[in-house]
Amino acid sequence: MSNASARQTAENLRQATATHHQAAADCIWDLWQSRRHVDGLPPGLRPTTRLEGYAIQALYEKRSAQALFGWKIAATSLAGQQHIHVDGPLAGRLLAERVHPDGTTLSLAGNQMRVVEGEFAFRMARDLPPRGTPYTRDEVIAAIGTLHPAIEVPDSRFAPFEEAGTAQLIADNACTDYFVLGNAAPDAWRQTNLVDHPVSAHVDGGATFSGSGANVLGDPLLALTWIANELSAIGVTLKKGQVVTTGTCFKPFAVAPGDAVTVDFGEIGQVAVSFSA
């Protein structure tokens, strides 16, 4: 085969792959917007690797009218990984249209998971671009601007999502749906041991749930380091101003329309969300 023929074959393959990924992204996006669920992508569109999953996920950014708000990490506890049958964390994109302020009221219509997660979220003060060597925990900490209490209300476009597998869940934006960001914590948080830091959630008229930063890959700052290196490995910059939410500090708990939830991070702050009846 001549060099010209080889280049043309490679270009044809690239275009076919791009078309395949776009069709998969269009399918998941349509399911997300219509609040419908399926058992999986059509066999011809299903990604089989993490890299394929991220290539599909990347296409949601151009659907947003605003710059990418940030990132989430799913499956940061061993129990969470076992529950959805994955062998490690997954990164997902936070689209600005799905982000809400502290105290917001959300609808659970079309959300099959109907759970709340309390999370440490970090806003970056500078870029962490792709590079050949992994970022260290200290380097990532130095790039943090502010720490925020946060709530995630996840969902998947697949049912049962527990059987979708790693590549499809990444393509499904790592089960992202709604995100609620609280106010920035006092700067003194940098002297706080986030591993042992207690986090509790209270449902008005109902139960209280508790956990700590240790449930987030053993340390929320290690989770943040993980995503910096995950993005670096796929050629993506973790940008200044973006927010990363690092995973739930307690086992996700069920909520229903009419519930009001407050998550308390102690001196770091509180964040609340209500669900419309």
Domain limits, the chain: 3-275
Instruction: Report, as an integer, the average pLDDT of 191-201.
Output: 98
**In whole numbers, what is the pLDDT of the chain averaged over residues?**
95
Q: How far apart are CA 56 and CA 50, in angstroms?
A: 10
First to last CA, the chain: 65
pLDDT tens profile 227-237: 999 999 999 99
180 has pLDDT over 90 = yes
* pLDDT-above-70 percentage for the chain: 94
Instruction: Report, as an integer, the average pLDDT of 111-139.
Output: 98
Q: How confident is the model at residue 66 (pLDDT cuts 50, 70, 90)?
A: very high
pLDDT tens profile 93-117: 999 999 999 999 999 999 999 999 9
Instruction: Report, as an integer, the average pLDDT of 151-164.
Output: 97
Give me the pLDDT at residue 6, please: 46
Q: How far apart are CA 277 and CA 261, in angstroms?
A: 14
User: What homologous superfamily does CATH list for 3-275?
Assistant: Fumarylacetoacetase-like, C-terminal domain (3.90.850.10)
pLDDT tens profile 210-266: 999 999 999 999 999 999 999 999 999 999 999 999 999 999 999 999 999 999 999
- The residue ranking higher by pLDDT, 10 or 98, is 98
**Backbone torsion region of residue 220, taken as left when φ is above 0, otherwise alpha when ψ lies between -120 and 50, otherwise beta:** alpha
Instruction: Report, as an integer, the average pLDDT of 7-20.
Output: 67
**Backbone torsion region of residue 245, taken as left when φ is above 0, otherwise alpha when ψ lies between -120 and 50, otherwise beta:** beta
206 has pLDDT over 90 = no
